[in-house]
Homo-oligomer: A and B are copies of this chain.
Amino acid sequence: MVTEDGRGAHHVQSLERGLAVIRAFGADTPELTLSDVARATGLTRAAARRFLLTLVDLGYVRTDGKYFALTARVLELGYAYLSGQALPELALPHLERLSEQVGESSSVSVLDGTDVVYVSRVAVSRIMTVSITVGTRFPAHATSMGHVLLAGLDEAELDAYLAAATLDRLTSRTITTGTDLRAALARVRVQGWALVDQELEEGLRSVAAPIRDRRGRVVAAVNVSSHASRTTLEAARRDLVPPLLAAAARIEADLSMTPAAREHG
């Protein structure tokens, strides 16, 4: 049995709506009124009020009576995921070493739907920092880590990705057709790493390498990003790729020794 909106009969709509209320808060909107939340979620004011007050009861939201804001307790939910994953923590010392070697920020991400999601990151402090933290998402088609992760999919998975993804143009260089993307991924598979030059944002260059589990499946990607003004394409290939591949190998070695890898691998 499937309901009108295509969800199964098991679907708990109140949970979906409550999670939408949490996601209504964000970088540009850390404080919202009841009306703001109703507008952002498409709920009635009465429904939005019930969800917000429930979240206040549970300690996930605080309010001064007019404005609502998330509390640090919301981090518990993401922490439930992060603490169960060996990779994010295991990768950190390797990212630190990599960032120290190349003087640039480095990250690990996984594929989630059509996005890459950052699960581990070491930021190098600069005057202009890039606002990326664990949990940040970017469309896979426009990022080096996305290319590496997509190159690791089998044919059926890649077909499903292309059916779901919109391949939006984010800069003049973004790959926006399935044919071009398939060609780029074929090169990544042969080469063993990906370079994306200003396809996500003007001025941003990034190289990425796959992290494989013991069965050889690509489970994550590691990258180093730089600014076009600091790093030419030639310098990226020459100076960033070798330390990146070495870091990926060290992360894979550590990952192969985790209990989960032994159990499933």
Contacts and interface: CB of A to CB of B under 8 A. Distances in A.
Interface of A: 7-8, 10-12, 14-19, 22-27, 29-31, 49-51, 53-55, 57-60, 69-85, 88-89, 92-93, 96-97, 110, 112-113, 117, 119, 123, 125, 129, 131, 133-137, 260
Contacts of A59: 112-113
Contact of A19 (B7, B23, B26, B58): B58
A168 to B, nearest CB: 19
Given A77-B78, A117-B73, A7 B57 contact: yes
Contacts of A18: 12, 14-15, 18-19
Contacts of A58: 15-16, 19
A71 B85 CA distance: 10
B83 A74 contact: no
B93 A129 contact: yes
A112 B73 contact: yes
Given A71-B81, A76-B135, A92-B123, A15 B129 contact: no
B133 A77 contact: no
Contact of A72 (B27, B71, B112): B112
